[in-house]
Amino acid sequence: MFLSKHKNGYYYLYYIDVNKKRKIISTRSKTKSEANKFLSKFSLELKDRLDRKTIPINFKKMIFEFLKYSESVHSYNHTITLKSAFKEMLKYYGDFPIEELNKEKVLKYIQYRSRNLSPHTVKREIESLSSLFNWAIDHNFILENICIGIKRPRLPEKLPVFFTKWEFEELLNTTIDDDLNDIFIFAVNTGLRQMELIKLEWNQVNIESKTLILDNRNHLTKSKKIRSLPLNQSAIKILEKRIQSRYKHTIVFTYHNQPINQQFISHKTKKLIKLSGINPKLNFHSLRHTFASWLVQRGVSIYEVSKLLGHADIKTTQIYAHLRSDDLRNAVEMLD
């Protein structure tokens, strides 16, 4: 096991893995002292893996156990995505003892899937397998995550689809139901994700201070971090309109006095978009894109928008940067 500094300035660690194969991993550090700290920590983890005895289990059974765990911590849609990825791998290989799992097996499967699927789907399936293997390490079924080091497909940039002012007004005019209109208006003024909205409780809202707190109590946020969000007057009006319902329900948004199901709201939104004759590519998540896009168009910085959206990495928010074309126009006009 040794460290080597590459041309990019970063130190990399070379080591022999549990399968007696030579591996390389980045320390993500450009200083020798930090790289040595990484080496010390990694050495202990590797020794722990080598000393640990794995529990025999078949691939199918391991998937079943992981999906049970997923249902308790992830959204319904995320669990369905995981289930779909594993189902295809089971179809390809059938069931097998987990000790037969290796990188060649995973690579062969990914190459097979890459022939007919979009890069987005392939990337999602690799990430699903990686989640499974990380969980399996914690439960002593395997010793290492063999997805580490497997290249994810490079994804083409996609512009976010968002409502124009006219399209949003058309959606509201088509939606004659107050319960749905309230959630649409609140969504476009807060940028909350679908599950954050339909799970939002009154105890998370403070009308006096015009804030709400996503605290991971009744729903885990995507970043798993607590975040506070300021509310504008449009959002406050919706809360004041619905405030009487807090004596009947702990949740803020209901549909005809019933909790809102994720599949129901997605389907209902698509149906209303079709009826209104606006861009058919729009969907419920487009309300979140609209919140971000309208802010950027009004001159709010990408950094501030990133904080409001709760993005863990500002790179995620960069998809809205093209809407700040006036900044670039002003820059080139400096030459005139």
Residue-by-residue DSSP string for 190-219:
H---HHHHHT-BGGGEETTTTEEEE-SSSS
Q: Say if residues 300 and 328 touch (Cβ distance below 8 Å).
A: no
SS3 327: helix
Residue 226 within a domain: yes
What pLDDT digit, counting tens, does each position of 57-94 carry? 999 999 999 999 998 888 777 888 899 989 999 999 99
Residues 247 and 130 in one domain: no
Distance CA 311, CA 116 (A): 31
Residues 176 and 321 in one domain: yes
Residues 180 and 283 in one domain: yes
Residues 304 and 172 in one domain: yes
What pLDDT digit, counting tens, does each position of 194-244 carry? 999 999 999 999 999 999 998 766 555 555 567 889 999 999 999 999 998
Residues 249 and 199 in one domain: yes
* pLDDT beyond 80 at 334: no
Residues 44 and 130 in one domain: no
Specify the pLDDT at position 328.
Answer: 57
Residue 92 within a domain: yes
Residues 181 and 316 in one domain: yes
Q: Single out the residue in 30, 51, 72 at which a domain terminates.
A: 51
Residue 155 within a domain: no
Percent of the chain beyond pLDDT 90?
42
Residue 47 within a domain: yes
Averaged pLDDT score across all residues of the chain: 86
What pLDDT digit, counting tens, does each position of 142-186 carry? 888 888 888 888 876 677 889 999 999 999 999 889 999 999 999
Strand partners, 15: 23
Residues 121 and 89 in one domain: yes
How would residue 100 be classed by pLDDT, with cut points 50, 70 and 90? confident
Containing domain of residue 89, as a range? 59-138
How many structural domains does the chain have?
3
Specify the pLDDT at position 179.
Answer: 93
* pLDDT beyond 90 at 51: no
Residue 74 within a domain: yes
Residue 283 within a domain: yes
* pLDDT beyond 80 at 316: no
Specify the pLDDT at position 30.
Answer: 87
CATH (domain of 274): 1.10.443.10
Residue 160 within a domain: no
Residues 6+ apart with CB under 8 A from 316: 306, 309
* pLDDT beyond 60 at 7: yes
pTM of the model: 0.64
Specify the pLDDT at position 282.
Answer: 94
Residues 22 and 90 in one domain: no
Residues 176 and 312 in one domain: yes
Residue 146 within a domain: no
What pLDDT digit, counting tens, does each position of 264-289 carry? 999 999 999 999 999 999 999 999 99
Residues 6+ apart with CB under 8 A from 231: 189, 190, 210, 211, 212, 239
Residues 233 and 310 in one domain: yes
* pLDDT beyond 70 at 325: no
How would residue 129 be classed by pLDDT, with cut points 50, 70 and 90? very high
169: number of Cβ within 10 Å: 13
* pLDDT beyond 90 at 37: no
**Size (the chain), residues:** 336
Chain Cα centroid distance, residue 116: 24
CATH (domain of 120): 1.10.150.130
Residues 202 and 319 in one domain: yes
Check residue 28 and report its DSSP letter: -
Specify the pLDDT at position 192.
Answer: 93
How would residue 52 be classed by pLDDT, with cut points 50, 70 and 90? low
Distance CA 146, CA 113 (A): 17
